[in-house]
Structure 1
Amino acid sequence: MDIRKRNNVHVTGQGDRPMVFAHGFGCDQNMWRFVAPQFERDFKVVLFDQVGAGGSDLSAYDKTKYSTLHGYADDLVEIGRDLGLKDAVFVGHSVSAMIGLLASLKAPELFGRMVLVGPSPRYIDDGEYVGGFTEKQIAELLEFLEDNHMGWSAAMAPSIMGNADRPELGEELTNSFCRTDPEIAKAFARVTFTSDNRKDLSKVTIPTLILQCSEDIIASEAVGEFVRSQIPGSEIVFLRATGHCPNLSAPAEVVSAIRAYV
């Protein structure tokens, strides 16, 4: 298997230390275009697409393998080992925050630091834990997506992006969602929104930074605080950015926060 072709891996930059960027649901590596190039002078920058997204090899998609986030984490480990990564900085947005976290538990030697942008270990409320959605809301969300991929994308993407005063951002995310293969998008959404990685947080041994936006309907400030409280020694930075995609809406602030940490 050609791992680099499978995940459409691109490596740029002049530095020795690797920095790996992983995108969220319905997106691809293009979502890092305002952030990743800022690190090319000092780092070896690694970009890739999750299988099913962007320029990845769609024929590599396997329903069973990708029925949990572990399948995606295994891919990340394979990419890291194929590239010979050591002590890399991992930057994961949204669901890829948990994918990176799982990968770090499988192969801790690959990563030296993690930056989790808008992470959530569980989206569904559970007792005192407030994930942001009831079980019924998630079921309805997934049912809507199942019935009408395009309609779901048009309805959800602007809300997820936030920044209603900049409609072009919501439009970009909508288009990104719509480009994703509908069947894969439905399966990935189910995996994303029904996963529960809360018990994995305390196992993390790598220094971790959480970047938290306000007015994020996908991963609230309470969720960010929960992640910080559960990952030993982790730090949290509350960005001025709003919505769920600061890599698009406030890239300079994201770059500044990552640079200060690494």
Structure 2
Amino acid sequence: MDIVSRNNITVTGPEDAPVLLLAHGFGCDQNMWRLVAPALAESFRVVMFDYVGSGRSDLSAWSEARYGSLDGYARDVVEICEALDLRDVHFVGHSVSSMAGVLAAATAPGLFASLTMIGPSPCYVDGPGYQGGFSAEDIDELLESLESNYLGWSAAMAPVIMGNPDRPELGEELTNSFCATDPAIARVFARTTFLSDSRDDLRKVSVPTLVLECSQDVIAPREVGAYVHAAIPGSRLVTLDATGHCPQLSAPEATVAAITDFLGDQS
């Protein structure tokens, strides 16, 4: 299969520059990076893509068997790197893609030079000694609402996730992105996202890692950022003066600055 067309891969920036692989989150596609990609492409070879089942990917390649777990998304990441013959990749994952990146780095450790996690959460459900931000009942209700009325759920939840009520156009954009996703695929991706527990995988990370969080984020609260930072040896935690779960849209300049500062220290 042609991985480039399967994942709708796009590449910008100087050919001889370090590689930056941008991986979108649930209900999104590579368009979510449009406000940060041009600035990043001034210094990096920026590779963007759509996970199978998202955006303009080849939907015929999607299967619940593969994408019913985060391993399927991590395989997309590794296969993209292999198809483009990428090495020393600086991976930038938003939301659930942060954990896909962790799994990809564990699967193919020689491919990756660093990880940047934007709004990461290894587990959304509270447990003994762990605050994920949601009770098990919260997640059950969220998934039940999503599965019974996906378009209605998207319209209600996207503005909450975006977290910038004074800028309603951002919530509307995320709503439209959610609604563009096939509901059947979105249901599987949602379960994969909100029911996964990748906490044990964090301790396997061996490359330089940036944990990038917002000062207020209902999906990945600061307690989760602190947990991820503590679990990954030598990681760096940066808290943006921004709200919501999508700083690449709501605070693009600050997001670019945090990423470039971190990667500048790796060179």
- TM-score category (smaller protein): over 0.9
In the alignment, what sits opposite 2:13?
A: 13
In the alignment, what sits opposite 1:72?
A: 73
Please say if 1:106 is aligned against 2:107.
yes
In the alignment, what sits opposite 2:224?
A: 223
More displaced stretch, 103-112 vs 189-198: 103-112
Structure 1 residue 67 displacement after superposition: 1.0
In the alignment, what sits opposite 2:128?
A: 127
Partners of 2:123 and 2:193 lie apart in 1 by 9
Which amino acid is 2:7 matched to?
Answer: N
Partners of 2:185 and 2:35 lie apart in 1 by 26
Structure 1 residue 243 displacement after superposition: 0.6
Which amino acid is 2:24 matched to?
Answer: H
Structure 1 residue 43 displacement after superposition: 1.4
In the alignment, what sits opposite 1:2?
A: 2
Partners of 1:246 and 1:39 lie apart in 2 by 15
Superposition pairs for residues 36-185 of structure 1, below 5 Å?
Answer: 36-185=37-186
More displaced stretch, 103-112 vs 37-46: 37-46
Q: Percent identity?
A: 60
Structure 1 residue 127 displacement after superposition: 1.1
Partners of 1:58 and 1:183 lie apart in 2 by 12
Superposition pairs for residues 202-213 of structure 1, below 5 Å?
Answer: 202-213=203-214
The gaps in structure 1 that reach 5 residues or longer are: none
Report the secondary structure of 2:93's partner residue. Answer: strand
Which amino acid is 1:52 matched to?
Answer: G
Question: CA deviation digits over 1:102-123, x for unaligned, max 9?
Answer: 1011111111011100000000
Partners of 1:109 and 1:201 lie apart in 2 by 17
Q: CA RMSD in A?
A: 0.7
Which amino acid is 2:8 matched to?
Answer: N
Q: Which runs of 4+ in 1 moved over 4 A?
A: none
Give the TM-score, by structure 1 length. 0.99
Partners of 1:89 and 1:218 lie apart in 2 by 24
Please say if 1:234 is aligned against 2:238.
no
Structure 1 residue 16 displacement after superposition: 2.5
Report the secondary structure of 1:91's partner residue. Answer: strand
Question: CA deviation digits over 1:60-109, x for unaligned, max 9?
Answer: 00110111000110111010011111111111000000001110111111
Report the secondary structure of 1:164's partner residue. Answer: coil
Partners of 1:78 and 1:232 lie apart in 2 by 27
Structure 1 residue 42 displacement after superposition: 1.8
In the alignment, what sits opposite 1:244?
A: 245
Which amino acid is 1:108 matched to?
Answer: P
Question: CA deviation digits over 1:115-141, x for unaligned, max 9?
Answer: 100000000011120100111110110
Report the secondary structure of 1:64's partner residue. Answer: helix
Structure 1 residue 37 displacement after superposition: 1.3
Structure 1 residue 41 displacement after superposition: 2.3
Which amino acid is 1:189 matched to?
Answer: A
Partners of 2:84 and 2:193 lie apart in 1 by 27
Partners of 1:108 and 1:12 lie apart in 2 by 24
Partners of 1:41 and 1:148 lie apart in 2 by 42
More displaced stretch, 34-43 vs 152-161: 34-43
